[in-house]
């Protein structure tokens, strides 16, 4: 009698376990992620579902993570930065992973930074945002223009940009960082380049054969920010073959270019007119400036030097 009672107890336990398994399976099949997959594959049988329950559960769990994405660095998925995808192979439900948009953007940025060392993103710029911006009355015009550009930029349709000028340390680069981070949230690729380092790097790249690939990457960026233009040691070559080529392409393709400088338009034109060959080349400088003036709004950034 005791053995029979033990057997019945085990049977009841198994029955309860099976009940819970059935409930879990039903809950899984009611998930919108799973119903969407099954709707696209009406030939999936109950046998295939039973055999693929582990894959279906994994897919549901990982997709829920993606829908509540905490960012690439905190991604809880089995493969960080990768999204799951279900497919049918030989009458079995299988799962595979592909890089999500954040992972793709991160890899692209790493490649770009590996290619162009002068991509200028200091730590304080990485976290620049309009929410944390201390606009003040002196920087109100610049802040409004920056936010308006960030919210409305349409690379390929409108090539209009901004030209921020003012004294050292008034926050020109920080404003550009806020623009770049806002554009990133909109999925728009932005290069922030420290112009003096960029020109030095381009001269060096002739020797290692990377000049054209670097030039093309900058020319084709959806939004380009040339930080501190005018601080570089200018030459006819950097002005005409580098800066001129970049601006010409971007003008034709309607890709916005933004600038920060200590110079206004006229002062930058005089700077660009300098020729390392001796004398000045005013006509060539004027050609560059015509492209800048026509496609940017000149805005003075006022305020105290925040670096001192």
Are 247 and 152 in contact by the 8 Å Cβ rule? The answer is no
H runs (alpha helix) in 30-139: 32-40, 46-51, 53-67, 101-115, 123-126
DSSP-based three-state secondary structure for 274: strand
pLDDT tens, position by position, 19-68: 777 787 788 888 898 899 999 999 999 898 888 888 898 999 999 998 88
**pLDDT bracket for residue 244 (50, 70, 90):** very high
Percent of the chain at pLDDT > 90 equals: 45
Q: How far apart are CA 68 and CA 54, in angstroms?
A: 22
Burial class (CB in 10 A: 0-12, 13-18, 19+), 218: buried
Confidence of residue 220 (pLDDT cuts 50, 70, 90): very high
Cβ–Cβ under 8 Å, residues 184 and 177: no
| pLDDT for the residue 116 | 45
pLDDT at 3: 45
pLDDT at 26: 84
**Among candidate residues 169, 121, 171, 120, the one with its CA nearest the CA of residue 142:** 171
Least confident stretch, 136-150, 154-168, 219-233 = 136-150
Q: Give the pairing type, strands 92-99 and 82-89.
A: antiparallel
Distances (CA, A) of 198 to 39, 45, 202, 245, 296: 53, 60, 6, 14, 21
Closest CA to 147 of 120, 117, 177, 169: 177
Decide if 146 contacts 178 (C-beta within 8 A). Answer: yes
CB 56 within 8 A of CB 49: yes
pLDDT of 254 above 90:
yes
The better pLDDT of the pair 234, 196 is held by: 196
Tell me the sheet residues that pair with 83. 98
| Range list for CATH 3.40.50.300 in the chain | 116-300
Residue 2 has pLDDT above 70, yes or no: no
Q: Which of 135-144, 203-212, 243-252 has the lowest mean pLDDT?
A: 135-144
pLDDT exceeds cutoff 50 at 1: no
Q: Is the pLDDT of residue 166 over 90?
A: yes
pLDDT confidence tier of residue 161, bands split at 50, 70 and 90: very high
Average pLDDT of 180-191?
86
Whether domain 116-300 has CATH 3.90.226.10: no
Distance (Å, rounded) from C-alpha 58 to C-alpha 110? Answer: 30
Q: What is the pTM of this model?
A: 0.65
Looking at residue 112, what is its pLDDT? Answer: 55
Residue with tokens 């006509």: 283
> Is residue 118 over pLDDT 60?
no
Cα dist from 184 to 69, 74, 101, 143, 280, whole Å: 16, 18, 11, 18, 40
Does pLDDT of 261 surpass 90?
yes
- Whole-number average pLDDT of the chain: 85
How are beta strands 257-261 and 161-165 bridged, if at all? parallel
- Answer yes or no: is pLDDT of 259 > 70: yes
Q: Is pLDDT at 134 greater than 80 in this prediction?
A: no
The answer, yes or no, to whether residue 117 has pLDDT greater than 70, is no
- What is the pLDDT averaged over residues 77-100? 90
The token duo for 139 is 């920087």
Is the predicted pLDDT of residue 279 greater than 80, yes or no?
no
Distance in angstroms (rounded) separating the CA atoms of residues 283 and 287? 6
Identify the residue with better confidence: 129 or 299.
299
**CB of 34 within 8 A of CB of 59?**
yes
pLDDT 10s digits, 5-17: 444 344 445 677 7
Query: Does pLDDT of 91 surpass 80?
Result: yes
CB 86 within 8 A of CB 56: yes
């Amino acid at each position: 009698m005791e053995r029979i009672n033990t057997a019945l107890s085990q049977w009841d336990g198994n029955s309860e376990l099976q009940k819970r398994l059935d409930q879990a399976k039903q809950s899984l099949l009611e998930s919108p992620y799973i119903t969407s997959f099954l709707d696209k594959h009406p030939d999936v049988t109950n046998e295939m579902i039973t055999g693929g329950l582990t894959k279906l559960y994994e897919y549901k769990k990982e997709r829920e993570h993606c829908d509540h994405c905490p960012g690439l660095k905190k991604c809880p998925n089995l493969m960080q930065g990768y999204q799951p995808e279900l497919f049918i192979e030989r009458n079995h439900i299988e799962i595979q992973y592909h890089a999500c948009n954040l992972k793709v953007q991160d890899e692209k940025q790493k490649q770009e930074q590996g290619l162009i060392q002068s991509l200028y993103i200091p730590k304080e710029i990485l976290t620049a945002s309009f929410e944390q911006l201390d606009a003040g009355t002196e920087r109100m015009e610049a802040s409004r223009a920056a936010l308006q550009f960030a919210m409305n930029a349409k690379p390929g349709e409108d090539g209009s940009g901004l030209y921020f000028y003012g004294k050292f340390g008034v926050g020109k680069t920080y404003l550009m960082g806020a623009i770049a981070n806002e554009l990133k949230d909109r999925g728009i690729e932005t290069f922030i380049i420290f112009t003096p380092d960029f020109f030095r790097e381009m001269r060096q790249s002739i020797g290692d054969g990377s000049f054209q690939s670097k030039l093309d990457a900058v020319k084709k960026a959806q939004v380009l920010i040339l930080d501190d233009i005018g601080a570089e040691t200018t030459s006819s070559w950097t002005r005409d073959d580098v800066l001129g080529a970049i601006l010409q392409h971007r003008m034709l393709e309607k890709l916005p270019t933004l600038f920060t400088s200590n110079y206004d338009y006229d002062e930058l034109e005089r700077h660009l007119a300098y020729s390392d060959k001796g004398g000045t080349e005013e006509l060539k400088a004027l050609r560059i400036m015509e492209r800048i003036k026509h496609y940017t709004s000149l805005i003075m950034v006022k305020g105290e030097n925040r670096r001192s």
